Copies of this chain bind each other. A is one copy, B any other.
Amino acid sequence: MAFELTILGSSSATPTSERYPTAQVLNASGRFFLIDCGEGTQIQIRRQKIGFGKINHIFISHLHGDHFYGLIGLISTFNLLGLTRDIHIYSPSQLKDIIQPQLDFLKGDLRFNVIFHPLNFKKPQLIFEDKKIEVISFPLKHSINCCGFLFREKQKEANIKKEYIRQYQIPIAQIKDIKQGADFVAANGEVILNSLLTTPPPTPLSYAFCSDTAFHPPIADVIKNVDLLYHEATFTEELREWANKTYHSTALDAAKMAKMTNAGELIIGHFSSRYKEVEPFLNEAQTVFSNTLDAVDGKTYPVKRKQ
């Protein structure tokens, strides 16, 4: 199954002619998670030909407009398209107060519920899980309450080697236990070790989203060994003072975090519109972390299993 990230917007604060404000879709084994929802997100979703009906979990990092102004338009479009699945929004609690007066003005009644799940800004928290995926929020360090999100596959079961099922006549009823680590005791009393019977499952894939934030070492523990890290890089070191003042990161900060967490790959984005080119960001980050890519609106990045 696909595990890939599509960047819908990579600008900071205000959109530019080429970059929309922050929004991303993570396709995690067929689950489509929308992360932030800046103005124009629904236009970008349409351009990427991502079915609107696939999106019903939306994660909003914080309440600066460039991260959520597209939400009401998206919800309105869900309704106009006749979608009926409930929408779950994981966000700062105040978002409800902002959105509700707008929902009340929507053409006709909503055909679905909008369910708000308030984020915890004190500590990491499991905010979503199903059979295959779990999502953990964790506090970032920004000028207002802000969370990052870690999307992680759950640990899969080991694979049992088919030839041993036949050889030892393993009953179907015991296969589940063996996949979960049990040894097998044959009819003659012989114990067949689990390590012989199985091959280990692949390491779960993971993706972490960190925006907006200053360089913030405490998150490294939560997102350690992540396969793909998106970390904001609003400025380069040239504007270090401004980055500090506004609780944003430089490209160097992002790269340091990727190194500190032992990430597989790093994508930087949320570029200030002051910069016309992305090269200075990449050059700066790659001095510390060579596997750095730049976020490009409309581009899809596969989450690759770390070596």
Contacts and interface: CB of A to CB of B under 8 A. Distances in A.
Contacts of A80: 13-14
A20 interface: yes
Given A42-B15, A80-B14, A98-B102, A69 B65 contact: no
Name which of A64, A72, A97, A102 has the most chain B CB atoms within 10 A of its CB: A102
Contact of A46 (B15, B43, B81, B107): B15
Chain A contact residues, majority secondary structure = loop
Interface string A84-124: 00000000001001100110011100000000000000000
Chain copies in the assembled complex: 2
A247 B253 CA distance: 55
Contacts of A94: 105
A8 to B, nearest CB: 13
30 contacts: A13-B80, A14-B42, A14-B76, A14-B77, A14-B80, A14-B81, A15-B42, A15-B43, A16-B46, A17-B46, A17-B47, A20-B43, A39-B39, A39-B40, A39-B70, A40-B43, A65-B72, A65-B73, A65-B102, A65-B105, A65-B106, A65-B107, A66-B76, A69-B76, A94-B105, A98-B101, A98-B102, A98-B105, A101-B101, A107-B143
A182 interface: no
Interface size class for chain A?
A: 20 to 34
A72 B73 contact: no
Given A15-B42, A107-B143, 19 more contacts: A14-B42, A14-B81, A15-B46, A17-B43, A20-B43, A39-B40, A39-B70, A39-B73, A63-B105, A64-B107, A65-B72, A65-B76, A65-B106, A66-B76, A69-B76, A94-B105, A98-B101, A98-B102, A98-B105
A98 B66 CA distance: 18
Interface in A240-276: none
Nearest to A12: B80
Contacts of A107: 64-65, 143
Closest 10 pairs (CB-CB, A-B):
A39-B73, A65-B76, A69-B73, A40-B40, A14-B77, A15-B43, A17-B47, A98-B101, A63-B105, A13-B80
